[in-house]
A = this chain, B = another copy of it.
């Protein structure tokens, strides 16, 4: 599996111009009109399509060799990449980017090796292309099979971290697709050099350089043109914060997969193992609070609230978690612990940090109602020893992943054994939950006959 595949938050809005309220800093070169940009981006997409055709019939050996060549090239060009990254870092530091975000933007030798190793791990994964999903011999003798084939041209719109540039290129290459990248302006220089290195390595490996292209030079109008390239872009995947994703979903005219908004819940049932519940809540909230599969709201059955809440809330507060409690939860908060009163906004919020909304409910039904009302459809967990409660929770909630007696943090392509993960889909069409290489493919029906005609 690749490293750093989880959807991570928070990302400053300005990290990708798309989600910015203010005009984008990167603009098309003077004299370029929106029409010019659209034509330039469409020309890029047409070149991607031609390149993708070459890759569609490439063998796994060819693709894996190319992935390893890309990895080697990144390491061989680490000095150039780090120098470009320093320009981004200096500019963003001067622009007031926080230290933690700067840290995520920064590249060094070790990080470049880790990014290169991720490509080698993608090479080790099975090739999804060519898999026969089903097939049969029809009554009239026609031999029918449904075969997995590449999407064609995949667009990727993402935020600051430059490792996503490489991840996206590697996953697209392995799944037989050409990729068109649109990164954040904060990593513009890093991405520019990385794309240059990847393209040269593809060319050396005997594959079209146009398998990896970028529209970063065209600024926001370039992203808009990419989102509008209907018939030229087969799939667009946004990766980043909610602002970016919603902008892409709203504006795109090409097929989009919505990823990664996670307002996840843990419900502690009346018959729960409270030791498990304690550890699961703690893990779901604090192990990595910035990612989408961390928990945002804890629901506790009233029968166990008095026993469970003081203990878990004390632990959470010791871990610096701010508690937003409803009235009954507040009544269970031990003296001396700080809390804030929960409002509807808390139920709706994906905090991306060390904050947790807490509510006491009268029943499993009330828990299910609460989750149905507020969830983003990512992951919900129940802690219970009652098989009927577990079944109802699983059956009646309509989220991508429902978990019984384990942490929400397990919703992850790597944990699920899917290998590399391109994102976590919170929509229902095409892909739901962790998306691996297979989700970057489509299928084709192949029919062989001996002159059959329809009666």
Contacts and interface: CB of A to CB of B under 8 A. Distances in A.
A136 to B, nearest CB: 6
Given A399-B444, A428-B152, A428-B234, A450 B138 contact: no
A406 B287 contact: no
A56 B283 CA distance: 31
A207 interface: no
A61 interface: no
A400 B444 contact: yes
A415 B146 CA distance: 14
Contact of A442 (B403, B407, B428, B454): B428
A407 B407 CA distance: 53
A110 interface: no
B448 A410 contact: no
B235 A429 contact: yes
A168 interface: no
Given A398-B56, A448-B404, A451-B280, A428 B138 contact: no
B407 A454 contact: yes
Given A149-B398, A400-B445, A442-B432, A451 B57 contact: no
Interface in A281-330: 282-284, 287
Nearest to A257: B429
B451 A275 contact: yes
Interface in A407-455: 407, 409-411, 415-417, 427-430, 432-434, 442-454
Interface centre among A152, A280, A406, A430 (most CB of B within 10 A): A406
B451 A410 contact: no
A398 B138 contact: no
A417 B283 contact: no
Contact of A404 (B146, B428, B447): B447
A131 interface: no
Given A429-B430, A432-B442, A432-B443, A454 B405 contact: no
Contacts of A339: none
Given A394-B446, A395-B56, A453 B409 contact: yes
Contacts of A416: 138, 144, 445
A374 interface: no
Interface of A: 53, 56-57, 136, 138, 142, 144, 146, 149, 151-152, 234-235, 250, 253, 255, 257, 273, 275-276, 279-280, 282-284, 287, 390, 394-396, 398-407, 409-411, 415-417, 427-430, 432-434, 442-454
